[in-house]
Amino acid sequence: MRRVTGALAIPVTVFVVLTALCSINGASLFGTDDSLLLLTRGVATTMLTAMALAINLNSGRFDFSLGAMATLSSVIGATVAIQTGSGIVVMGGITVAVGVALGAFSGLVYVLLGISPMVCSLGITLLYEGVSFAITGGANVSFLLDGGLTSFSKSPAAMAAVIAVGLLVVVLLFDQSRFGYDYRALITGQGPAVAAGIREKRNAVAAYAISGGLMGAVGLILASQMGYIEAGKLNFGSIGIMFTAFLPMFVGGFIGRYSNDKLGYLLGALCTTLLGLAFAALHLTSTVQSITNALLLVGFLLFLSNEDKLARLWRRVARRDRHTTGHLPPASPDVPAQPIVRTGATAS
């Protein structure tokens, strides 16, 4: 019961608070016909991005190239689909496969060069953005009039399927496979794990590849949603997509203490998507939305940094309450309750 309560406390609180805020302002959290589509699509893209970010960040590897992977993989997938006249299935398969290849290449560069993962990912970001620019000549890859390619992200059922498949694949890979066991062993004790025979570099490249595959799926959804791909982003213009996943990743990690961390990322993505729906219902400007998101992220990080202090303060207050009159044992029927006699020390 404690685990269920801990896992659902934040999502339920967020839903209740946002619903109340919308009601006070005469709006509805799900007031449009597209609410279900916006909810499922937002959860899908946010959950996949948060997982892709967390896979390497949990191992101490900061990856700035996630947005560039999503852009380049979708550029290649869409270009092939347009030129061959094939549908969304071919585009999706190529986009995800290219995402896996791009992630694996990024991992190989990291393990072979042995440089800082942050510096490595910045170089990879510039490389992937440059390749996208070279393929398209800096122009957008547009397929607005192709209903087959744009219909994918307009189906709540398709988005729900993406959520289910993405969650299942990640759970199987990280919780039910030899790769996942090695991955967790390296996180909790890198030295002993390597000494025990776990191949750290191979595991790191595989983790990068899985992260790239997830970002390929994100690129597919975003491309299908807009009907075009902005391939002219240079000088780290693609990094922004990574920062959208920080808040759900940290919230999901906290929720994961009471359940599975992958389920935590799903619930964290649900919270931030509900927040986005509330922003739209309340007609908040993009500036106010950005400031609110930043304040929530900083506030949650402050909470995580001072969690032990808050727990000690809570226990101290609880012990003090147990010594108040309200917690005295019930009086015997034969002996009436006696009032507390405070000495000068306790009364002060």
- Of 254, 272, 274, 273, the closest CA to residue 264 belongs to 254
Strand (E) or helix (H) holding 6: helix 2-24
Residue 343 has pLDDT above 80, yes or no: no
Q: What average pLDDT does the segment 61-67 reach?
A: 90
- One-character DSSP codes across 118-164: HHHHHHHHHHHHHHHHHHHTT--EE-TT-HHHHSGGG-HHHHHHHHH
Checking if the pLDDT of 347 tops 90, the result is no
Determine the pLDDT at residue 20: 94
Task: Tell me how far apart the alpha carbons of residues 167 and 48 are, in angstroms, rounded to a whole number.
Answer: 8
Whole-number average pLDDT of the chain: 88
Cβ atoms 74, 219 nearer than 8 A: yes
Percent of all residues in the chain with a pLDDT value above 90, rounded to a whole number? 57
pLDDT digit string (tens) for 211-228? 999 999 999 999 999 999
Residue 237, token pair as written in the block:
């213009």
> For residue 185, what pLDDT is reported?
93
Q: What is the CA radius of gyration of the chain?
A: 25
Q: Is the pLDDT of residue 287 over 50?
A: yes
Q: Which residues contact 149 (CB under 8 A, 6 or more apart)?
A: 78, 81, 82, 87, 88, 91, 143, 223, 224, 227
Q: Which pair of structure tokens corresponds to residue 219?
A: 């690129």
- Asked whether 152 and 146 are in contact (CB, 8 A), the reply is no
CA distance 75 to 216: 10
Is 58 in contact with 207 (CB distance < 8 Å)?
A: no
Q: How many CB atoms lie within 10 A of CB 246?
A: 19
User: So what's the pLDDT on residue 325?
Assistant: 55
Give Cα 70 to chain centroid, integer Å: 15
Residue 341 has pLDDT above 50, yes or no: no
Q: Which residues of 204-213 are buried (b: 16+ CB within 10 A; e: fewer)?
A: bbbbbbbbbb
DSSP 324: S
> Comparing C-alpha atoms, which of 254, 300, 303 is closest to residue 275?
300
Lowest mean pLDDT among 158-162, 203-207, 332-336: 332-336
Query: Nearest CA to 247 among 223, 275, 287, 280?
Result: 275
Grouping H, G, I as helix, E, B as strand and the rest as coil, residue 85 is coil
Q: Per-residue pLDDT for 70 more than 70?
A: yes
What mean pLDDT do residues 147-173 have? 94
> pLDDT, tens digit, for every residue of 289-330?
989 999 999 999 998 888 888 888 888 888 877 766 555 555
What pLDDT sits at residue 15?
94
pLDDT at 99 over 50: yes
pLDDT of residue 338: 47
Inform me whether the pLDDT recorded for 67 exceeds 90: yes
pLDDT of residue 348: 29
At 330 the pLDDT is: 52
What pLDDT score does 115 carry? Answer: 85
pLDDT value of residue 167 = 95
Residue 177 CA: distances (Å) to CA of 108, 174, 182: 22, 6, 9
Q: If you average pLDDT over residues 27-38, what whole number do you get?
A: 87
Which helix (H) or strand (E) segment holds residue 228: the answer is strand 228-229
Q: What is the helix (H) or strand (E) element at residue 291, kind and residue range?
A: helix 286-305
Determine the average pLDDT of the residues in 114-132: 91
Q: Is 152 helix (H, G, I), strand (E, B) or coil?
A: helix
CA-to-CA dists, residue 92 to 50, 74, 100, 218, angstroms: 20, 8, 12, 10
- Our measurement of the distance from residue 185's CA atom to the centroid of its chain's CA atoms, rounded to an integer in Å, reads 22
Q: What was the pLDDT predicted at 17?
A: 94
Per-residue model confidence as pLDDT tens digits over 325-340:
555 555 444 445 444 4
pLDDT value of residue 81: 94
